[in-house]
Amino acid sequence: MITVQYKARYLPSRNIPLPHFLTSYHAHPIKLTNEKEGWIESRYGIEITSQKKVLRTSVTWAEGMEFIGEDSQGRNIPMEATKVHVGTGKNPVPMEVFPTSLGGCIAVEIRWLLIQRGLGFEALKVSIAGTQRDIAPKTIERVDALIEIKGGPDPAVVKEVVDLAMKEKCPIVVMFSAFSKRGWRVVQK
């Protein structure tokens, strides 16, 4: 994972809030200029330095309609076109990989939230069902998650953890929420 540094200036007298990603700051005088309007102003401000992670992946053509995705750690994810587009059917298609990563994100967040509470389970399975539009671009217009937990804690705790994962913690759920409806159901055995 690559880290990028951003620098910005904060002027307390203009009531601009500090960004949530603030990692460090240095207070010093700042000279503001606006050549277009012809004014120069000096104020005491704060220079902010922030670091953000940049996710990097690559996809390389292998043969026919097969491609190899590579994550930032060098791990391979084979993908190919659908059979309609001359795929062989032996690898997942990109449109299946996307909801699969959604299920993985939900499962990881639920597991992590339970570990933080000192709780566990015997088994966890997250099944994703996505409905695509009929016309191009065939984006996913609705996604539903079925979360099956065996031998877990009290159902009220499970509901709280799942709701937290689905509403706040899983960034892929948040991204899906921007362009599709979502729902989820928990089955506890």
Beta-bridge partners for 27 = 46
Predicted local confidence at residue 55, as pLDDT: 82
Mean predicted confidence (pLDDT) in 130-134: 91
Whether 141 shows a pLDDT value over 80: the answer reads: yes
Whether 49 shows a pLDDT value over 70: the answer reads: no
Binning pLDDT at 50, 70 and 90, where does residue 51 land? low
Count CB-CB contacts under 10 A for residue 21. Answer: 11
Whether 25 shows a pLDDT value over 70: the answer reads: no
Q: Is the Cα dihedral 107, 108, 112, 115 positive or negative?
A: positive
Q: How far is CA 158 from CA 102, 117, 119, 148, 151, in A?
A: 19, 11, 10, 11, 11
Would you say 113 and 160 are in contact if contact means Cβ atoms under 8 Å apart? Answer: no
Q: Which two tokens stand for residue 46?
A: 């704060």
Q: How far is CA 125 from CA 34, 128, 145, 189, in A?
A: 58, 10, 10, 12
Global pTM exceeds 0.95: no
Any idea which residue has 């804690």 for tokens? 153
Whether 29 shows a pLDDT value over 80: the answer reads: no
Torsions phi, psi for 57 (to 5 deg): -135, 165
Q: Which range has the worst mean pLDDT, 45-54, 84-93, 169-178?
A: 45-54
Predicted local confidence at residue 50, as pLDDT: 53
Predicted local confidence at residue 90, as pLDDT: 95
Residue 4: strand, helix, or coil: strand
Binning pLDDT at 50, 70 and 90, where does residue 77 land? very high
Whether 19 shows a pLDDT value over 80: the answer reads: no
Mean predicted confidence (pLDDT) in 87-96: 93
